[in-house]
Structure 1
Amino acid sequence: MNTVPIERKTPALQDHLPMLCTGVVFLATGIVFGIQGEWARTGIAALLLLTVGVPWLLEYWTRARFPVSLQIQYALLLIAGPYVGGALGLYVAWPPWDTVVHFYSGFPITFAIIAALGVTAQTYRLTFPVWFEVTIVISIKGFVALLWEFGEFFVDQLLVLQSCL
Structure 2
Amino acid sequence: MPKQVRRSLLFALPFQVVTIALALVLALIGFPIQVLLTVLLALTMWAPAAAELVFRTTLPRALQLHYLIFITLGPFAGSALNVYAMIPDWDTLIHFDSGVMLAWLGMLWVRRVEERVGTPLPSWFGLLVVQLTPMAFAAAWEICEYASDLIIGTNSQNGSLEDTMGDIMAGTLGGLFAIVLLVILRRPRTVAPASLVRAARRSGSAERTDAPH
> How many pairs align?
154
Q: Is the 8 A contact 1:70 1:108 kept in 2?
A: yes
Q: CA offset at residue 139 of structure 1?
A: 2.0
Deviations 1:82-125 (A, max 9, x none): 11111111111111111111111111111111112111210232
2:17 is the alignment partner of 1:24:
yes
2:34 is the alignment partner of 1:56:
no
SS class of match (1:46)? helix
Q: CA offset at residue 31 of structure 1?
A: 4.5
In the alignment, structure 1 segments of 5+ residues that lack a partner are 1-8
Equivalent residues in 2 for 1:80-159, closer than 5 Å:
80-159=73-152
Q: What TM-score do you get using the length of structure 2 for normalisation?
A: 0.63
Counterpart CA distance in 2 for 1:158 and 1:39 is: 17
Q: CA offset at residue 16 of structure 1?
A: 4.7
**Which letter maps to 1:47?**
L
The equivalent position to 2:72 in structure 1, one of 79, 88, 92, is 79
Structure 1 residues 12 and 129: alpha-carbon distance in aligned structure 2, compared to 1, 3 A threshold: closer
Counterpart CA distance in 2 for 1:84 and 1:93 is: 11
Q: CA offset at residue 60 of structure 1?
A: 0.8
RMSD (Å), alpha carbons:
2.6
Q: Is the 8 A contact 2:33 2:81 kept in 1?
A: no
Q: What TM-score do you get using the length of structure 1 for normalisation?
A: 0.80
Q: Is the 8 A contact 1:30 1:46 kept in 2?
A: no
Of the two structures, which has the highest relative contact order with CA contacts closer than 8 Å and spacing of 6 or more? 2
Counterpart CA distance in 2 for 1:147 and 1:132 is: 22
Q: Is the 8 A contact 1:59 1:66 kept in 2?
A: yes
